[in-house]
Amino acid sequence: MDNIDSLTGFLNRSGCLQTAGRLFTDPQSTGKQLAVIWINFDRFKQINESFGHLEGDELIKNLALRFRKRVSGRAELSRMSGDEFVFLIPKYDRNEAQQFASEMASTVEEPIFIGKLTMRPTASIGIAIHEPGENAFALLERAEHAMFAAKNKGGNCIVCSGDEPIPGRLGITLAREELAIESILHTALETGGLSLHYQPIICANGQVEAVEALMRCSVNGENIPPGKFIPVAEKTGLVVRLGEWSLLQGAMQARQLHDAGYRTKAAINVSRAQLISAKFTLALHAALICSNVKPELVELELTESLFMDISETVQKNLKNALAAGVSLAIDDFGTGYSCLANLKDIPAKKLKLDRAFVTVLPEDRRALAVVRAMTQLGHELGMSVVAEGCEKQSEIDSLLEIGVDAIQGFFYARPMPEDSLLAWLKNRSSHD
Ligand code: C2E
Ligand code: CA
Ligand code: CA
């Protein structure tokens, strides 16, 4: 393959390093920096071994010429080793670099004819953008590292430096942002950065039947939304500790509402990881005992997906929860893949229809038909039906007409901290 470099005029490894150093720009003056795109063909070794080195050479030459044509002066091209190419592009940002990398990926994928075979090669691509103070060697190393991450993901993909999966505390592979969230969650658990906000659920007759406890996480003034921290907590197993904390806090809130004269339940979210644990019953009993609340004022919201496969431990936990006197609700109904055959065996008193169905009401007649059918199903199974995520009067009108029993959504109230909830309830009862 020695003739390839001279044939196409690509830089070699040391030429690439030197050129990279020369292409650094002053970020203050341009706002854009040198981008390095590291390309490594997938399964090249296999091609060499099965077809021979001459064919391998031919393939590389073909691809190198394609790159040259496609890049047409936009980048400095280097060949680092047999099947590895690096492109240096001055004054690029991350988006531009990603776009360029996708363009190169499609260049690689165009069919190549070797003998009687049509090959459709793919590549693993790593991207690194120059950071202030970084030398050329470190920059190229980051791009290569990102390329390896793309290879480890199965190849045929692009990874930006900084987005590579790296091992987490529990040996689970987490992306960098997820690791940061995991660390924030640990801090929150240790320093009181968790809180619960409460969102009212309102019956068709206007009564506030329950408030849903929704977890909030704030550390050093930074608020992380549950949509971000709950999935990380689930991956790392931290959700069990978070869940135990919210069970206790939620139960204490139910007790406080009762003491303040309201007959309003606290609905507490319980994750799958909690329910599949043999310790769940103990945690529930501890929360009920410590808060000294009437168990009928506590409702557990369980996501629909839990019921796809109910293990013996889950069944036992659910039975024990019912025996303790709390009630169960099926959350996010309609979004999972629950087996309707299982639904009849679930001892829940409430079905919560996911917001996805509500947002398209009342214009979408088909969605209306689905909500009507789900509501009927819930009623026939002896459950009350709650619609989540209602933001407009028109949605509420359609839902009540269909026969939904209760409504939860920003239209009535957003989730709010404990003191605002008490003020909200007081204000509401003074208008009754
Ligand atoms: P979820 O259980 O379905 O909770 C309802 C979510 O819908 C809440 O989001 C709430 O703020 C939002 N919502 C309510 N009404 C409206 C509306 O009218 N419009 C819009 N756009 N959104 C509305 P939030 O608080 O961000 O929580 C997201 C999810 O995080 C929850 O979904 C739940 O799955 C999970 N989560 C929250 N707290 C806990 C917890 O303590 N334990 C567990 N395991 N999961 C929790
Ligand atoms: Ca919920
Ligand atoms: Ca829900």
Select from 266, 215, 267 the least CA-distant residue to 243: 215
277 lines ligand 1 (CB under 6 A): no
403 part of a folded domain: yes
Q: For residue 330, what are the domain limits? A: 177-431
Whether 107 and 200 map to the same domain: the answer is: no
Q: How many CB atoms lie within 10 A of CB 172?
A: 14
171 part of a folded domain: no
pLDDT given at position 112: 85
The b/e string for 276-302 (b: 16+ C-beta within 10 A; e otherwise) is bbeebbebbeebbeebebebebbbbbb
170 part of a folded domain: no
Whether 93 and 222 map to the same domain: the answer is: no
Counting from 1 in the atom list of ligand 1, the atom nearest the Cα of 271 is 44
225 lines ligand 1 (CB under 6 A): yes
39 part of a folded domain: yes
C-beta separation of 297 from 258 below 8 A: yes
Q: How far apart are CA 275 and CA 271, in angstroms?
A: 7
Whether 109 and 37 map to the same domain: the answer is: yes
Token pair of 323 as six digits: 């025996």
CA distances from 210 to 42, 237, 354 (A): 56, 28, 17
Domain limit, last residue, from 132, 165, 198: 165
Whether 8 and 123 map to the same domain: the answer is: yes
143 part of a folded domain: yes
Whether 343 and 398 map to the same domain: the answer is: yes
Token pair of 30 as six digits: 């341009």
Q: How far is the CA of 332 from the centre of ligand 3 (A)?
A: 4
Q: How far is the CA of 175 from the centre of ligand 1 (A)?
A: 23
pLDDT given at position 237: 85
Token pair of 46 as six digits: 């296999």
Whether 88 and 220 map to the same domain: the answer is: no
Whether 140 and 248 map to the same domain: the answer is: no
Select from 5, 125, 10, 113 the least CA-distant residue to 59: 113
Q: What string of pLDDT tens digits covers the 432 residues of the chain? A: 445 545 567 888 889 999 998 888 766 666 689 999 999 999 888 887 877 788 888 888 889 999 999 988 889 999 988 889 999 999 888 899 999 999 999 999 998 887 777 788 899 999 999 988 889 999 999 999 999 999 988 889 999 998 877 666 555 666 778 888 988 999 999 899 999 999 999 999 999 999 999 999 999 888 999 999 998 998 888 999 999 999 999 999 999 999 999 999 999 999 988 998 889 999 999 999 999 999 999 999 998 777 776 788 888 999 999 999 999 999 988 876 566 777 777 889 999 999 988 887 778 888 899 999 999 999 999 999 999 999 999 999 999 999 999 999 999 999 999 999 999 999 988 766
293 part of a folded domain: yes
384 lines ligand 1 (CB under 6 A): no
409 lines ligand 1 (CB under 6 A): yes
Number of domains making up the chain? 2
Whether 54 and 190 map to the same domain: the answer is: no
The terminus-to-terminus CA distance of the chain in angstroms comes to: 86
Domain limit, last residue, from 165, 190, 213: 165
CATH code of the domain covering residue 247:
3.20.20.450
CATH code of the domain covering residue 141:
3.30.70.270
Q: How far is the CA of 375 from the centre of ligand 2 (A)?
A: 18
Q: How far is the CA of 347 from the centre of ligand 3 (A)?
A: 18
271 lines ligand 1 (CB under 6 A): yes
Select from 211, 212, 286 the least CA-distant residue to 245: 286
389 lines ligand 1 (CB under 6 A): yes
pLDDT given at position 47: 80
Owner of token pair 């069970």: 247
Whether 123 and 189 map to the same domain: the answer is: no
pLDDT given at position 406: 98
DSSP state of 305: G
Return the ligand number nearest the Cα of 302.
2
pLDDT given at position 361: 77
Whether 349 and 219 map to the same domain: the answer is: yes
Q: How far is the CA of 271 from the centre of ligand 2 (A)?
A: 10
172 part of a folded domain: no
Whether 396 and 254 map to the same domain: the answer is: yes
pLDDT given at position 29: 61
113 lines ligand 1 (CB under 6 A): no
Whether 96 and 192 map to the same domain: the answer is: no
C-beta separation of 296 from 315 below 8 A: no
347 part of a folded domain: yes
